[in-house]
Structure 1
Amino acid sequence: MRWNGWLARRWALGQGAAALAAMAFAPTWAQAQAAESVQAEDWNARFQSTYVWQGKRPFRAAYSGPNSLSPDKERSYSFTATAFLGWRPWTGGELYFNPEAAQGVPLSGLTGLGGLTNGEMARTSGAQLKAYRARLFLRQTWGMGGEQEAVESGPNQLAGMQDKRRLVLTAGNLSVTDIFDANAYSHDPRTQFLNWSVMTHGAYDFAADARGYTWGAALEWHHDDWALRAGRFIQPREPNQQQLGHDIFRHYGDQIELEHAHTLAGQPGTVRLLAFHNRARMSRFQDALDLAARTSAVPDINAVRTGVQGKSGFGVNIEQAATDDVGVFLRASRADGKTETYAFTEIERSLSGGVLLKGTAWGRGGDTLGAAFARNSLSGVHRRYLSAGGTGFFIGDGRLNYRPETIYEAFYNVQLAKAAWVTLDWQYIRNPAYNADRGPVKVGSVRLHTEF
């Protein structure tokens, strides 16, 4: 099937040190005090499993194309299971290995939307369960003084104490989003929002294979409330495919992120500024349009993928606790939009935000209520390409009555037991694939999740 082996997305999302932060609200002062005496771990082993069922209602469509979301009623499911194995071979060193298995059937072959509805889906490789290595990486930390802070035990995170001033090198097989674009309230589709354009920067075309993983290295410098990180990772050989290239000096994804933690009205918050630049064998939309004009044909990006091109973009990521039980987030991102989507989804401008509430106020402290929105759009040349009948990897209705794609998502996450949750999720999508002649789309989801 066409979607087999496609690029995952945060995919890696929710699984590394960044994922651990995304699975809970920022700690209160009392929790931080209690964590001061954390016992250092030499090894740990964690496990997660997530099942997502989705149902889409029929919707109005004046026409459909080769990469349209089907206007008919559809059902979908995904399943993932991951083991997180960690070992401390020497002081400051941490080695992690994550075997993973996945399967699933997407809505409409995983086409027809910029903000796709299931952040777990891209990890799957078809209706048959398939096992693979998700991560194998080394993290080395060099303490540089300052106050110490506790590190809690978690997936891909060994408990212990660390300097607030430190240098951290991470290298190996992992996800770019394990390190970049973290957010405590919107980062993990296994426990938080499901939509691709809510769980991360929609315009962040980060390097990844078809399951969302890659090889590379990142260096982080932490100095009290500040952090600066930069990394380079290899790209797939072809857009959104599984096989990765090996020339990290020719085909790569670079990113740099500046982070500052602050306190506002007595509550913690963080601001992150991200910039990225990709180099890969990508097609330019204008080249496809020019070729189509000369040949009187429908423009096709696959016919003009002849040389190495660059893509640049940036993002702003804000998280802020309003109270101990309420947190809000906001993201804005933009890519230059000259070239095809290479490893994420077809979004070149995105604004998203939302709120998470713990259930403490109604006596359900383990529950979470969330509401979010996303507004996605395309560059001018990408619009002209689609209007002329061109198709991208994920979208292409044959024609285009352009409007920004707008997504609303709400969920309620119920804790059934210490290590088990069930989530009810609802998504409402206007102008799917940026087309006012189609939609709105309504998708309901049920998510089952366990971790221990």
Structure 2
Amino acid sequence: MPTRPPRLLGAALLLASLLAPLAALAEPSPVGERPALGQGAPAPAAGEPSPWTASFQSTYVLQRKAGFQAAYTGPNSLVTAPETGYTLTATLFLGVRPWPGAELFVNPEVIQSQDLSHLAGLGGLSNGENQKSGGPLPTLYRARAFLRQSFALGGAESRVDAGPNQVAGTVASRRLVLTAGNFAVADVFDQNALAHDPRTQFLNWSLMGYGASDYAADVRGYTVGLALEWYWDAWAVRAGRFAQPEESNGLPLDLDLWRHYGDVLEVEHAHELFGQPGKVRVTGFHNRARMGAFRDALAYAAAHGGPPSVADVRREQSKYALGIGLEQGLLEDVAAFARYSLNDGRTETYAFAEIERSFTAGVVVKGRPWRREGDTLGVAVAVNGLSDDHRDYLAAGGTGFLIGDGRLNARTEQIVEAYYSLRAFPGLWFTADAQHIANPAYNADRGPVNIVGCRVHVEY
């Protein structure tokens, strides 16, 4: 039987205490100013680059799904009975500066989890800490091992504090940055400051990034690749090529980047609107892999009998996706974000979420007005949809990696999430989270479902 969640929380806090010597290297900043994943060693004196950084995070998420009504249940449906699930992760962020302008990082990571409904039955899954290969036994792996090289091109210089995968120093407003090795696409692209990191922000997968991007990653969310970024004052342009899994939603990566790959191109512009900062991003995705097309699967099933399966018709194919994102300050302590993404909807989900159309929007408020400067309140909505091809495939009894009720009364999947993050003291946050999901897995014959949860996040 899986380890009970309270014991897991105790294990997380014990691990944090064993690593307490790292606290002497850290002085976490307020929640609205720190890096997304945590806070590392303090910066040296101004103008003096640091030779290294070390930081640690552990996050425990406990969720309880209420029971709900459904006219029928299929092979990849959300279970109608009440359920409890959890995730526990712990990560070390270790980095050195081997020569001027370079940073080398390694991130050992551990995960232990018990998934709701075996991680099936939703387009926007409820916990971004979940992995498609998680389980009740702790698993140690290398999350990242990469090199970042920066080339200053002039412009103004600004101070960069130490943090997870960031060595303290200065950066030029005009620069080239080359990143190569084992990391995540989301480490470089779509760096939304309000909805990006499930360890500190919204939990639902739909709110972590572009839901319809199907970006290249193994089942843990990491990949191997190369990214080049060009910064010129308010503008940034990023491009990268990344390894796809050897097979759909698999763990081993196909390192033949000339044959199978995920390409990403992003343009970003920073601005001020009524005195408040904001950013606009446009991101394009091109994935190339052996994928099954929904129409091909339907034709194969019509000729051979049985329910359609994309596994029967996989061949070399491309998938294209587009994302548009906005984040904008509204008041001193209030900011909003919105994203829209879509893909061509022809082929199976290869690496991320089973979403082909997605619109998300939300508001985040810092706690200063009620004298809780370290607290954060967030509310967001997500509306996810499928292509016509995918709807017909599911209605005919087809299944994907994450969804498939055997039948389908198609509707958009609609999600509302709210969280309150309370900073107990520097380095420790407690979060209460609630999600309401209508038409889970795009099926009006099932749901709605309510999921409540809590999160404990520790960082040094």
TM-score in same-fold range (> 0.5): yes
**Alignment pair present for 1:448 and 2:459:** no
Q: Which of 378, 389, 393 matches 2:397?
A: 389
1:129 is aligned to: 138
Q: In structure 2, what is the Cα distance between the partners aligned to 1:135 and 1:357?
A: 32
Q: Following TM superposition, by how much is the alpha carbon of 1:36 offset from its aligned partner in structure 2, in angstroms? A: 10
1:426 is aligned to: 434
Q: In structure 2, what is the Cα distance between the partners aligned to 1:318 and 1:36?
A: 34
Q: In structure 2, what is the Cα distance between the partners aligned to 1:137 and 1:23?
A: 26
Q: In structure 1, what is the Cα distance between the partners aligned to 2:196 and 2:121?
A: 23
Q: In structure 1, what is the Cα distance between the partners aligned to 2:34 and 2:426?
A: 19
Percent sequence identity is 56
Structure 1: runs of 5+ lacking an equivalent: 2-19, 28-33
Q: Which of 391, 394, 404 matches 2:412?
A: 404
Change in CA separation of 1:36 and 1:182 when aligned onto 2, cut-off 3 Å: farther
- Give the residue type in structure 2 aligned to 1:409: E
Secondary structure, counterpart of 2:311 in structure 1: helix
2:344 is aligned to: 336
- Give the residue type in structure 2 aligned to 1:377: G
- Give the residue type in structure 2 aligned to 1:317: G
- Give the residue type in structure 1 aligned to 2:297: A
2:234 is aligned to: 225
For each residue in 1:372-407, what CA deviation from the matched residue of structure 2 results, as whole angstroms up to 9, or x when unmatched?
000000000000000001001100000000000000
For each residue in 1:48-85, what CA deviation from the matched residue of structure 2 results, as whole angstroms up to 9, or x when unmatched?
00000000000010000000000100000000000000
Q: Following TM superposition, by how much is the alpha carbon of 1:22 offset from its aligned partner in structure 2, in angstroms? A: 12
Q: Which of 53, 58, 67 matches 1:44?
A: 53
TM-score scaled by length of structure 2: 0.90
- Give the residue type in structure 2 aligned to 1:338: R
For each residue in 1:184-237, what CA deviation from the matched residue of structure 2 results, as whole angstroms up to 9, or x when unmatched?
100000000000001111101111111111100000000000000000001001
1:61 is aligned to: 70
Query: Do the aligned partners of 2:44 and 2:50 also contact (CA within 8 Å) in 1?
Result: no
Equivalent residues in 2 for 1:172-321 (5 A)?
Answer: 172-305=181-314, 307-321=315-329
Secondary structure, counterpart of 2:394 in structure 1: helix
1:7 is aligned to: none
Change in CA separation of 1:231 and 1:21 when aligned onto 2, cut-off 3 Å: farther
Tell me which stretches of 4 or more aligned residues in structure 1 moved more than 4 Å: 20-23
2:447 is aligned to: 439
1:114 is aligned to: 123
Q: Which of 415, 425, 430 matches 1:417?
A: 425
Q: Following TM superposition, by how much is the alpha carbon of 1:37 offset from its aligned partner in structure 2, in angstroms? A: 3.3
Change in CA separation of 1:383 and 1:23 when aligned onto 2, cut-off 3 Å: farther
Equivalent residues in 2 for 1:152-167 (5 A)?
Answer: 152-167=161-176
- Give the residue type in structure 2 aligned to 1:178: D
Query: Do the aligned partners of 1:169 and 1:217 also contact (CA within 8 Å) in 2?
Result: yes
- Give the residue type in structure 2 aligned to 1:114: G
Q: Could you say what the CA RMSD is over the residues aligned between the two structures, in angstroms?
A: 1.9
Q: In structure 2, what is the Cα distance between the partners aligned to 1:314 and 1:448?
A: 34
Secondary structure, counterpart of 2:77 in structure 1: coil
Change in CA separation of 1:228 and 1:393 when aligned onto 2, cut-off 3 Å: same
